[in-house]
Amino acid sequence: MAIKLTISFSARGYELDSYNHINNSVYLNYFEHARWEFFRQLDLYNFLKENDNLPVVTDVHIRYQREIKLFDELQIESFCIHEKPYLLFQQKIMNQTTGLGSARATTKLIFIDKNRIPMDVPAEILSRI
């Protein structure tokens, strides 16, 4: 069974571009933050650190839908599946202020060990997702 986790936060002033909305590159940061929160909420961050397993992004596809403005309340849903040897994250940003979707992304991660050798997703992670 797969897990879906959600985080919430507000858009910040230092993320604005010259058009006075959130710069498109910041969406990558939003999605990354949500993935780390995904691991943290499943109590996997310490496991990764203690076992020298590091998730590395190999591919990202973002579909921008609508702009995000300063102080908009945002929610990111993250859903994760295993496609050996990858973890595949499906994520979407919902703008709670407007009630509309702002972006969606598919991100592929592979894990590397302490010697930076690619490996399959650790069993401990698979057991929690």
Yes or no: is domain 4-128 CATH 3.10.129.10? yes
Bridge partners (DSSP) of residue 92 are: 77, 104
pLDDT digits (tens, 9 = 90+) for 41-81: 999 999 988 988 899 999 999 999 999 999 999 999 999 99
Determine phi and psi for 77, rounding to 5 degrees: -100, 135
Burial 19-33 (b: 16+ CB within 10 A, else e): eebbeeebbbebbbe
pLDDT category at 129 given cuts 50, 70, 90 is: confident
Residue 101 pLDDT greater than 60, yes or no = yes
How is the chain split into domains, by residue range? 4-128
CA distance 49 to 87: 17
CA torsion 44-81-53-123 (nearest 10°) is 80
DSSP 16: B
For residue range 1-32, what is the model confidence (pLDDT) as tens digits?
A: 578 999 999 999 999 999 999 999 999 999 99
Q: Model's pTM, two decimal places? A: 0.93
| 17 among known catalytic residues | yes
Among candidate residues 17, 52, 59, 113, the one labeled active-site is 17
